Amino acid sequence: MARFTPRRNSERDDLSVPRGAVPMGGRFDADVFGKMSEAIARFLGTGRYLVGQTVFVVGWIVLNVIAGVRHWDPYPFILLNLAFSTQAAYAAPLILLAQNRQDDRDRANIERDREVAARIRADTDYLARELASVRLALDDVVTRADLEESLERMAKLLADRPAAPATAPGPAPAPGHERFHA
């Protein structure tokens, strides 16, 4: 009967190597490989590459069709077809790898943009609240114009008030007796 022995986590921390595989020649750097695949994909998409490949294919066909040269790949051009198939077999995964890396960068940029937008939104909301509170505080502040207007109204009220009849001053009550004279 097989006995189960738990593995420690440190034994399977590196998931770049399949379980049970013997690493040959050391490990490769996935980032370097990704950068290399992006460079190849970028080159395969240039006009320079297309022109060069077109010149190569036309030269191949001409050399295998003209009569004075030994034909290493006669008319169905099977060797040329094999070369294109091999190129496509390598180019497609490299292009997909480059696209995946670009997608990862785009996702990271989008996430950063979302975080920046959220911070800007929070800052804008804060500033809007502060501006509203300043406006409310300024509504309660008495300005010079408000004071002058109030003084003018009071002066007008005093001027429009009928004059009170003048009374002759009488004897002043003795100190301490003013409470009893009402």
User: 87-133 pLDDT, tens per residue?
Assistant: 999 999 988 999 999 999 999 999 999 999 999 999 999 999 999 99
What is the average pLDDT across 153-176?
74
Average pLDDT over residues 161-174: 66
Mean pLDDT of 58-62: 92
Segment 156-170 mean pLDDT:
75
> What span, in angstroms and rounded, lies between the C-alpha atoms of 178 and 57?
129
Dihedral sign from CA coordinates of 145, 147, 153, 159 = negative
Confidence of residue 69 (pLDDT cuts 50, 70, 90): confident
> At 33, is the pLDDT very low, low, confident or very high (cuts 50, 70, 90)?
confident
When the pLDDT of each residue in the chain is averaged and rounded to a whole number, the result is: 83
pLDDT tier at 28 (50, 70, 90 boundaries)?
confident
Residue 138's pLDDT band, with cuts at 50, 70 and 90, is confident
In this prediction, residue 116 carries a pLDDT of 97
Decide if pLDDT at 66 tops 60.
Answer: yes
